[in-house]
Structure 1
Amino acid sequence: MTHRTSRHLALATAAVLSLGLTACSATADAADERLDNGDLSTVSIGIHSGWDEGIAVSHLFAAILEDEGYTVTNQEADPGIIYTGMSGGDFDVNFDMWLPETHADYLDEYGDDMEDLGAWYDNAKLTVVVNEDSPITSLSDLADASSAAGNRIVGIEAGAGLTRIVQDSVIPAYGLEGMDLLISSTPAMLAELKGATDAGEQIVATLWRPHWAYDAYPIRDLEDPEGALGAAEEIHSMGRTDFTADYPTLSSWIKAFRLTDEQLFSLENLIYEGNGASPEIAVRTWLDANPTFVDDLKAAAQA
């Protein structure tokens, strides 16, 4: 290698490093830019893969924030990856921490590196549902009336917590050993719900709130007087450390954010049963159908 070649390589390397430093500096400058409302202009949302309510709400907020001038990015991953990323500052906010039970371990491990921005939904729970016109109203009545639904409880995946709780708690608590718990998959369970309700047939199935099926199909929960399915949980929004300081306006909106069952189920239904519409298009459709939602949210934040 000649001295000249070495010098050219050194100059080229220096130029690349200079460009890299300039790009990093530009990225840092962009990340530090603030909007007129005092917030940083960029927001990254971490979304739990497969958690329909969190996916729906995350895309709803992304649309709202884009309209307000923010640059929004989002990424789906398992909850553990999301909370690890938040603790390291890779994500700014997550809208789907179930408390006090489901995500308690994550809160214990990463809570010191996150801010709890409050609960936006307070009726998250495991359920057993029937068709709306079923004569059965309570799990305590199910054993005596099980033949009407073919002595079946249509379940979901074998490894799901809901499946375990129905097997270990619900069935013995209500004497349902004479019913078959069909362990299959969530899509198969939903297909059974659709088929039975479309045909006007009786069905008993495991489900959970929130879920778009409550908006899509004529179904209702069975009462659980023994509490075998557990108490309702809250769904919290979580910000990374210093989120409120970096996003004073957005944090006030998130703290004021609430969705009713009707609002949430209709939003989810547009995404998951909306003729294949992307989440981005579905949330725009929902916002068009709820034209005062953003203004109401801002008003609630200022109250």
Structure 2
Amino acid sequence: MSLFGKYVKTAAVAATALGLAVGAAQAEKKDLTIAYVEWSDAVVATNIIKTVLEDKGYKVKIVPLSGAAMWQAVATGEADAMVAAWLPATHAAYNAKLKDKVVDLGPNVTGAKIGWAVPTYVDITTIEDIKKDPAKFGGKVIGIDPGAGLMKASEKAVKDYGLPVKLVEGSDATMVAALKDAYAKKEPIVVTTWTPHWMFAEWDLKYLADPKGVFGGEETVNTVVSTKLKEEAPEAYKILDNFSLSLDDEQKVMVENNKPGADPAATAKAWVAANKDKVDTWTK
């Protein structure tokens, strides 16, 4: 082969390689789906990361699901990510079953907690104290959505502490509504809850001590993504990997979301606009 022929062949190979590289770069997946549970903190975090990704050119769909369905969606690739995986205790069962089918990018919030709480005007301090007069609380503990990790732990608490009470199923919204009504009347009430949650900013509440450790210790809220995301959308993967919020960040936005007529998408956009320095650490 002539020198010229070698040159042409080499150039053609280089051009082909360059074309493949450009094609790969252009092929980054731009349509993303993020699953979440309709807990107040997850609504905040999910809308914030949605806003950030959309500002970077992604089209992001957010889908509310139960905890189990959220994990399953990411494990099967139906959803690309979630920023609402409570570990190590709350979502322990889901994690044990699906951890080999997802990628855990680690905490986006630290210092989280689950348990039972009462208004500070209620004169009990531990879960065991409920047994002294369960009728004072109507024989009930007000819960959230059935199947949630918090509800599973609450079922165990009722059993382990031998409490003659009924765990009432509902949602974050119905639990808060019951608390708001009881608080206005200064009536005793026990609710299932977690931190971060805006209700701790709204009312004077206290966690009940859990001497048996049913609810575990400090939790983290983790970002978990599909096994395909790093290859399909490396820039989105990087942003999700860098994403983090403080408890204070979340609770402030939760309070905004609780105002009449508030739109979680709008409050998230306002937070992102006001916290450019922090957001830049996720996207650079």
- Do they superpose with TM above 0.5? yes
Correspondence for 1:240 = 226
Deviation string, structure 1 residues 165-211 (Cα, Å, up to 9, x no partner): 445435653x654xx44625334432221123234444332323343
Correspondence for 1:46 = 34
Q: 1:298 aligns with which of 266, 280, 283?
A: 280
Residues 53 and 211 in structure 1, CA contact (< 8 A), matched pair in contact too: yes
- 3-state SS in 2 of match to 1:283: helix
TM-score (norm 1): 0.67
Q: 1:33 aligns with which of 22, 26, 29?
A: 26
d(CA) in 1 for partners of 2:24 and 2:41?
28
- 3-state SS in 2 of match to 1:211: coil
- 3-state SS in 1 of match to 2:209: coil
The question of 1:276 aligning with 2:258 is answered no
- Aligned partner letter, 1:185: G
Residues 211 and 265 in structure 1, CA contact (< 8 A), matched pair in contact too: yes
* Deviation at residue 234 of structure 1 after TM alignment: 2.5
1:195-206 aligned within 5 A: 195-206=181-192
d(CA) in 2 for partners of 1:31 and 1:213?
47
- 3-state SS in 1 of match to 2:200: helix
d(CA) in 1 for partners of 2:166 and 2:77?
43
Deviation string, structure 1 residues 111-156 (Cα, Å, up to 9, x no partner): 3443221111234443111113444333355555878x55654322
* Deviation at residue 264 of structure 1 after TM alignment: 1.8
- Aligned partner letter, 1:155: I
1:170-209 aligned within 5 A: 170=158, 172-173=160-161, 176-177=163-164, 180-181=165-166, 183=168, 185-186=170-171, 187-209=173-195
- 3-state SS in 1 of match to 2:52: helix
1:121-132 aligned within 5 A: 121-132=109-120
Q: 1:95 aligns with which of 53, 64, 83?
A: 83
Correspondence for 1:264 = 250
Residues 136 and 145 in structure 1, CA contact (< 8 A), matched pair in contact too: no
d(CA) in 2 for partners of 1:166 and 1:73?
32
d(CA) in 1 for partners of 2:182 and 2:63?
36
* Deviation at residue 259 of structure 1 after TM alignment: 2.5
d(CA) in 1 for partners of 2:180 and 2:83?
29
- Aligned partner letter, 1:276: G
- Aligned partner letter, 1:66: E
Number of equivalences: 261
Q: Tell me which stretches of 4 or more aligned residues in structure 1 moved more than 6 Å.
A: none
Residues 137 and 190 in structure 2, CA contact (< 8 A), matched pair in contact too: no
Correspondence for 2:199 = 213
Correspondence for 2:210 = 224
Gaps of 5+ in 1: 1-28, 35-39
d(CA) in 1 for partners of 2:239 and 2:59?
17
Residues 35 and 73 in structure 2, CA contact (< 8 A), matched pair in contact too: no
Gaps of 5+ in 2: 1-21
d(CA) in 2 for partners of 1:210 and 1:118?
17
The question of 1:155 aligning with 2:142 is answered yes
* Deviation at residue 95 of structure 1 after TM alignment: 1.3
Higher relative contact order structure (alpha carbons within 8 Å, sequence separation ≥ 6): 2
Note the aligned Cα RMSD (angstroms): 3.7
Distance 1:295 1:43, change over 3 A: farther
Residues 114 and 241 in structure 1, CA contact (< 8 A), matched pair in contact too: yes
Distance 1:182 1:100, change over 3 A: closer
Residues 155 and 167 in structure 2, CA contact (< 8 A), matched pair in contact too: no
Residues 193 and 217 in structure 1, CA contact (< 8 A), matched pair in contact too: no
Task: State the percentage of identical aligned residues.
Answer: 24
